[in-house]
Structure 1
Amino acid sequence: LTGVTGYLTGVTGDTVPPQVTQEQLRAAEAALALKQDLIDRLKAEAERQRAALETIPVLQAQADIYRADFEAERAAREQLHGQREALQEELNQLRLRLGGDGA
């Protein structure tokens, strides 16, 4: 407290009553506690953000795998559909030929 009083006396050039110094000290300590709380909360948030950033590449890799799997399944379905259409057309042609030969 003596250091604070000396500092305030040096800054203002006047003698500061001890009551004012005590009030200022309490206010400064309260402000310091609030700042420390803010720092702690910001550090915790930074840690949460860092952890989230570490999971992004893993999730991106999963999404890439799912996308590739989906595209492969779609290509296979399209190919099967094309084969089915070709077989259906071939069946229709054979039926026409069989129907024409028997007449």
Structure 2
Amino acid sequence: MVVLSNFEQFAEEADKLYSSAPAYTRYTFKYRHCDGKLVLKVTNDIITLTYATDQAADLRKLEKFNAVLCARMCGTTPLPPESEGGPSHEPSKPRSGKSKKR
């Protein structure tokens, strides 16, 4: 089991591991409240990569990594990152034409 302390290195190695054997790669994450740690694990039963953190600042990176890896595992392309202010929603436009009343 390989324990990585740098998140960028973990994300890169996990991506390589998934790319090499997508049908056999599993990804799990677990929050241990008693330790206050979030533990990420990517494995293909031969190689196991682990990353653990107790820093709240890492949550944004972990959320992005989770979204990208899960999208790849589902066979879709990951969505581009949104702006820092949150998702942008355009106001809905009223329908043109007559609306039917019932």
- Range class of TM-score, shorter chain: under 0.3
What is the TM-score when the length of structure 2 is the normalising length?
A: 0.20
* TM-score, structure 1 as length reference: 0.19
Give the helix-richer structure, 1 or 2.
1
Question: Which structure would you say has the larger RCO, counting Cα contacts within 8 Å and 6 or more residues apart?
Answer: 2
